Amino acid sequence: MKKTILVTGGAGFIGSHVVRRFVIKHPDYLIVNADKLTYAGNLENLADIEKFPNYIFEKTDIVDKKAVVDLFNKYQFDGVIHLAAESHVDRSIDSPDDFVMTNVVGTVNLLNAALASWNSHFAGKLFYHVSTDEVYGTLGKKGSFTEKTPYDPKSPYSASKASSDHFVRAYFNTYKLPIIISNCSNNYGPNQFPEKLIPLMINNIKNNKPLPVYGKGENIRDWLYVEDHAAAIDLIYHKGGIGETYNIGGNNEWKNIDLVRLLCRIMDRKLGRKEGSSEKLITFVKDRPGHDFRYSIDSSKLRNELGWQPSVSFEEGLEKTVDWYLENTRWLENVVSGEYEKYYEKMYLKRG
Ligand code: NAD
Ligand code: DAU
């Protein structure tokens, strides 16, 4: 094998697409997927590649310092693509502690292990940290986040991600650890846990359950198909500049209420329901506390310097996503049970 790469959080939504892409596109790399398998981690996401000779799964909690050091000693990684995180804003509002532990302490454990393992021999090594546009805070009606926008995180989730970004940059500045950070906008696509807007709405429409839209549904998000994010990570990993930051985004802003209505129309068509019937399920609920109004990503650095562009239109991506959730009923039923069921009741009974 030419390189051994650690992917953290590879059993999650974005991580599973990154792992699949690297395993298939780079057969000369050994991809080690380290994941704690929290409620959001699901090995079913990788069933199609789990037997590939260049793929290994290691159940690991990145908060466990010794486990992280042991992993580096075992594999002598050339690179790290770090995605493991607690990722849901509403959960971070309900209980921030896990976000501090995994997103901040877990990231520092990985940085320390990489630093010790590479022992100043940095040629060919890379620590790639996958982050979010939420570190920049919130926008009004105009403007977009660039790589130079000052950090201004507003939720416990984004504060923990901002903190991890700062640690990653500090290790570059202080110890010359070779790092790259990318900050991406909202992803959607197959394998996303149905606590996030798009899969939650698809699942509720399917089951004729209320569609909980926070506040007036005026908030705006910039949506990117998950495989385009994985492709950007692949490109940046191989062609990005050490110490650089790249914003990734779809240039595809939608008001939440417009997006939910669009999903209702697509689902009515796919399920053979009368046009307009799913829209009746829309229910405006209490707003998310401190709800960021708008995200918009300026990804011109990535487009101009590395030649990246999204390949999947929103129309095509939503069709694929809806089809995937309608076809993968077993996946959906398995994850929408147990712990998630309790979480859903708790969050939405509170919002009323
Ligand atoms: P996800 O919640 O679907 O998956 C997270 C994965 O991390 C899960 O497999 C989980 O088991 C694992 N994990 C959690 N805690 C762990 C721990 N202590 N040790 C090891 N593994 C642990 O998240 P996602 O949406 O796929 O996001 C992946 C990364 O991308 C995160 O860092 C997130 O901040 C970032 N990001 C997400 C989006 C988005 O729209 N989803 C956008 C930009 C950036
Ligand atoms: O911008 C990138 C971020 O996008 C990632 O870093 C996060 O990990 C990811 O979860 C996502 O954060 P958001 O908070 O934007 O995503 P979420 O799907 O939770 O919500 C999208 C929008 O929809 C947001 O304005 C809140 C709203 N919403 C969400 C849910 C779950 C609703 O109106 N109703 C809902 O039930």
Span 129-175, pLDDT tens digits = 999 999 999 999 999 999 999 999 999 999 999 999 999 999 999 99
CA distance 110 to 344: 32
Coil, helix or strand for 272? Answer: coil
What does the pLDDT read at residue 339? Answer: 64
- As for how many domains the chain has, the answer is 1
Asked if 110 and 68 touch (Cβ cutoff 8 Å), the reply is yes
State yes or no: pLDDT of 239 exceeds 70.
Answer: yes
d(C-alpha 1, C-alpha 323), whole Å:
36
- Reply yes or no on whether the pLDDT at 351 is more than 90: no
**Cβ(145)–Cβ(136) below 8 Å:** yes
Helix (H, G, I), strand (E, B) or coil at 328: coil
- Confidence label for 347 from pLDDT (cuts 50, 70 and 90): confident
Averaged over 283-302, what is the pLDDT? 98
Please tell me the residue having the least CA distance from ligand 1 atom 1: 12
Single-letter amino acid code for the residue at 81: I
Distance 280 CA to ligand 1 centre (A): 33
Task: Report yes or no on 94 lying in a domain.
Answer: yes
Q: Is residue 151 part of a domain?
A: yes
**Which pTM was predicted?**
0.97
Answer whether residue 36 is part of any domain: yes
Residue 233 placed within a domain: yes
Q: Is residue 56 part of a domain?
A: yes
Beta strands 220-225; 253-255: pairing state: antiparallel
Q: Whose CA is nearest to atom 19 of ligand 2?
A: 196
349 within a domain of the structure (yes/no):
no
| Residue range(s) defining the domain that contains residue 150 | 3-189+224-252+295-312
Indicate which ligand has the atom closest to the C-alpha of 192: 1
Residue 342 burial (10 A CB sphere; 0-12, 13-18, 19+)? exposed
Q: Which atom of ligand 1 is nearest to the CA of 106?
A: 18
* Closest to 160 (Cα-Cα) out of 101, 120, 204: 101
Ligand nearest to the CA of 164: 1
| Residue 120 domain flag | yes
Q: Whose CA is nearest to atom 41 of ligand 1?
A: 187
Identify the CATH number of the domain in which residue 301 sits. Answer: 3.40.50.720
For the chain, counts of helices (H) and of strands (E): 13, 12
pLDDT (0 to 100) of residue 341: 65
> Does the beta carbon of 191 sit less than 6 angstroms from any atom of ligand 1?
no
Q: Residue 264 falls within a domain, yes or no?
A: no
DSSP assigned state of 139: B
